[in-house]
Amino acid sequence: MLYPPRPGSTNTVPPIGLLSIGAVLENLGHEVNLIDSALSGLRGGALARQIHSYSPDMLLVSAFSSDVAILSTELSILKEALGNTPLLLGGPHASCRGVRALEDLPQVDTIFLGEAEESIVEYLADPSARIPGVIRRTDPWDTSPRHVDDLAVLPIPAWHLAPPANYTGLPNGVLYKRMPFAPIITTRGCPYKCTFCAGFRITGRQIRHRPLSMVWDEIDLLVNSFGVKEIHIEDDNFTFDADYAARFCEEAIRRQYPVFYSTPNGVRLDSLDEHLLELMKKAGWYVIHCGIESGSDRILRSVKKNISTSGIKEKISLINRVGLSTAGYFILGLPGETEDDMEKTISFSLSSGLAWAHFATFLPIPGSEAGDRWFIDHSDSEDIWMIFHNTDSPAPPEGISRKTLLRLQRKAFLRFYLRPVQMLRLFRQISNPVTLKYHIRRFRDYLHTGSSSPRKMPEIETPA
Ligand code: B12
Ligand code: SF4
């Protein structure tokens, strides 16, 4: 199994999807090896030699759309080295692009759409059969993403393939108290319809819960066998079912493990109330990440976020009152945004009571409502995958140049962080060399280039 190289990325997070597939394969009696090149940096001939040394029967690759540019080079080298070894692709890019992923990565033989723990078993039983959620290049039929109805059938991810202590880079959301951390999933799916999000292509709109006893079996393993000191719940929507989230917290309080908890993907603010927040704090949460996206009510409506700026402010004050810190994710350059809307986002971030803020630029994710619309008009942009990362800002809104968007992103970042109270917070948080290096790099990039993007990718023309 291969997780692709990601040069320049500061986040290193164990590949939970592959770990879940790995556990299924091991249960079937297969020998599984995982190379996380995002962690090791292994590429080219060295990567090919390493994979070749395992004499694999097949190579399973997981990729985001932001991995496509690098993967296409790496897979060409691998294809040559591995001859006829079948190359299988799953994960966000395959699920979001569907059959077109086979055009994006011509080296791939078969793609898996959606959650694949069940389809991989069926594929291994008969690789030539038509299986829902599986598309072979030799028979590119149309299928929709597959989902696992009952999460109780899933094994605990094969954590021994990616021991958390190896992951010493920054976790998702940057903030953490203690290493090693481990990302886990407790629920899959999200019923909301935010136009910029394609999560439903992978995990669907129907929310499903893992039985809490299984979640705790996994946390027991992580804490007792892998020395994990912080659990990051990476669900789309952990607090959607407030009762489930509350029961999780009550069990955490009962167990008293010396670990912190966090939900760095963000939770929906409208799902939080004082009771749940108190429980989260007692359980070991120290910050609540939330997807705010915009400080303009017009834009919040247009992206179908289903919450208003006043509703957001109210919840942030509630979180602060409970004594938890808040981190907000914003997106600049959403479709239809004007400079004025983005200025509103910047002002909102300053007055909202947030302790931390991240300002990404809009990424037209294939499979999302906004992404699909963007791709209709830009399907000829052959080089899109070369700049497909939100730090590259590939899709500024109409009438706004990429330069202006990056200038506003820089302004947002500097206005938010260059305040005495923020500087103090930053210094308090810089407790280790990894975090210190990250912040220095961010400030350097924003001050000198106007963008925090460390990626060196060629520019393609985007409409101004
Ligand atoms: C957690 C998460 C992250 C974590 C990833 C943790 C990890 N290493 O696994 C982190 C923080 C690193 C992350 C980062 C980003 N993310 Co993210 N993330 C998610 C989220 C919320 C859940 C993913 C998850 O863990 N699911 C649970 C596991 C079990 O599922 P899974 O990994 O998808 O694996 C299953 C299947 O995909 C499949 N599978 C996966 N790989 C393979 C391989 C083979 C061969 C097979 C057969 C099957 C298979 O089987 C697995 C089991 O069912 C999704 C939303 C979603 N609903 O999927 C967004 C999502 C995947 N992220 C997204 C984006 C855009 C990003 C970022 C670009 C954001 C950013 N600002 O930088 C970065 C890119 C990362 C990078 N390449 O550098 C998009 C992806 C769109 C796309 N087409 O690429 C999503 C869909 C959210 C959205 N906004 O629409 N993310
Ligand atoms: S952004 Fe969050 S709330 Fe909106 S659809 Fe995606 S996962 Fe659901």
**Residue range(s) defining the domain that contains residue 226:** 163-447
Residue 146 lies in a domain: no
Looking at the fold, whether 104 and 180 belong to one and the same domain comes out as: no
The CATH number linked to 64 is 3.40.50.280
User: Does ligand 1 come within 6 angstroms of the Cβ of 13?
Assistant: yes
Atom 26 in ligand 1: which residue has the minimum CA distance?
17
Check residue 27 and give its pLDDT.
98
Looking at the fold, whether 188 and 290 belong to one and the same domain comes out as: yes
Residues sharing a CB contact under 8 Å with residue 239, sequence separation 6 or more, in sequence order? 245, 263, 267, 268, 271, 272, 276
Looking at the fold, whether 324 and 427 belong to one and the same domain comes out as: yes
Written as one letter, the residue type at 169 is G
Contact 289, 264 (CB under 8 A): yes
Residue in 70, 54, 63 with CA at minimum distance from that of residue 97:
63
User: Does ligand 2 come within 6 angstroms of the Cβ of 192?
Assistant: yes
The answer, yes or no, to whether residue 461 has pLDDT greater than 70, is: no
Task: Tell me which of 120, 136, 152 is where a domain ends.
Answer: 136
Residue 150 lies in a domain: no
User: Does ligand 1 come within 6 angstroms of the Cβ of 360?
Assistant: yes
Is 27 or 172 the better-scoring residue by pLDDT? 27
Residue 30 lies in a domain: yes
Residue 424 lies in a domain: yes
User: Does ligand 2 come within 6 angstroms of the Cβ of 346?
Assistant: no
Kindly state the percentage of the chain with pLDDT values over 70: 92
The answer, yes or no, to whether residue 455 has pLDDT greater than 80, is: no
Tens digits of per-residue pLDDT, 292-319? 999 999 999 999 999 999 999 999 999 9
Predicted confidence band of residue 429 (pLDDT cuts 50, 70, 90): low
CA of 322 to the centre of ligand 1 (A): 31
Task: Tell me which of 121, 136, 151 is where a domain ends.
Answer: 136
Number of compact structural domains in the chain: 2
Residue 290 lies in a domain: yes
The answer, yes or no, to whether residue 188 has pLDDT greater than 60, is: yes
Residue in 389, 407, 395 with CA at minimum distance from that of residue 343:
407
Looking at the fold, whether 367 and 225 belong to one and the same domain comes out as: yes
User: Does ligand 1 come within 6 angstroms of the Cβ of 234?
Assistant: yes
Check residue 161 and give its pLDDT.
98
The answer, yes or no, to whether residue 261 has pLDDT greater than 80, is: yes
Q: Are strands 325-332 and 287-293 parallel, antiparallel or unpaired?
A: parallel
Contact 369, 195 (CB under 8 A): yes
Kindly state the percentage of the chain with pLDDT values over 90: 82
Token pair belonging to 229? 């000191």
Predicted confidence band of residue 195 (pLDDT cuts 50, 70, 90): very high
Looking at the fold, whether 79 and 185 belong to one and the same domain comes out as: no
Looking at the fold, whether 197 and 336 belong to one and the same domain comes out as: yes
Looking at the fold, whether 86 and 203 belong to one and the same domain comes out as: no
Looking at the fold, whether 82 and 184 belong to one and the same domain comes out as: no
Q: How many CB atoms lie within 10 A of CB 387?
A: 22
Among 188, 195, 196, 197, residue to substitute to test ligand 2 (most atoms within 8 Å of Cβ): 197
In angstroms, rounded to a whole number, what is the distance separating the alpha carbons of residues 61 and 401? 35
Residue 141 lies in a domain: no
Tens digits of per-residue pLDDT, 27-73? 999 999 999 999 999 999 999 999 999 999 999 999 999 999 999 99
Residue 151 lies in a domain: no
CA of 361 to the centre of ligand 1 (A): 18
Predicted confidence band of residue 378 (pLDDT cuts 50, 70, 90): confident
Check residue 433 and give its pLDDT.
67
Find the range with the poorest average confidence among 101-110, 257-266, 359-368, 372-381.
Answer: 372-381
Ligand showing the shortest atom-to-Cα distance for residue 202: 1
The CATH number linked to 387 is 3.80.30.20
Atom 16 in ligand 1: which residue has the minimum CA distance?
64
Looking at the fold, whether 410 and 353 belong to one and the same domain comes out as: yes
User: Does ligand 2 come within 6 angstroms of the Cβ of 237?
Assistant: yes
Whole-Å CA distances, 378 to 157, 295, 333, 381: 38, 28, 17, 6
Looking at the fold, whether 174 and 119 belong to one and the same domain comes out as: no
Looking at the fold, whether 52 and 174 belong to one and the same domain comes out as: no
Among 172, 185, 187, 190, residue to substitute to test ligand 2 (most atoms within 8 Å of Cβ): 190
In angstroms, rounded to a whole number, what is the distance separating the alpha carbons of residues 303 and 218? 36
User: Does ligand 2 come within 6 angstroms of the Cβ of 357?
Assistant: no
The answer, yes or no, to whether residue 130 has pLDDT greater than 80, is: yes
Return the axis-axis angle of helices 117-125 and 16-27, rounded to nearest 10°. Answer: 40
Token pair belonging to 212? 């809490």
> Which residue has 């506003």 as its token pair?
408
How much is the mean pLDDT over the chain? 92
Token pair belonging to 131? 């299986």
Token pair belonging to 79? 């294809």
Find the range with the poorest average confidence among 119-128, 188-197, 223-232, 381-390.
Answer: 381-390
User: Does ligand 1 come within 6 angstroms of the Cβ of 289?
Assistant: no
Ligand showing the shortest atom-to-Cα distance for residue 364: 1
Residue in 299, 156, 285, 302 with CA at minimum distance from that of residue 233:
285
User: Does ligand 2 come within 6 angstroms of the Cβ of 236?
Assistant: yes
Residue 257 lies in a domain: yes
The answer, yes or no, to whether residue 15 has pLDDT greater than 60, is: yes
Looking at the fold, whether 101 and 235 belong to one and the same domain comes out as: no
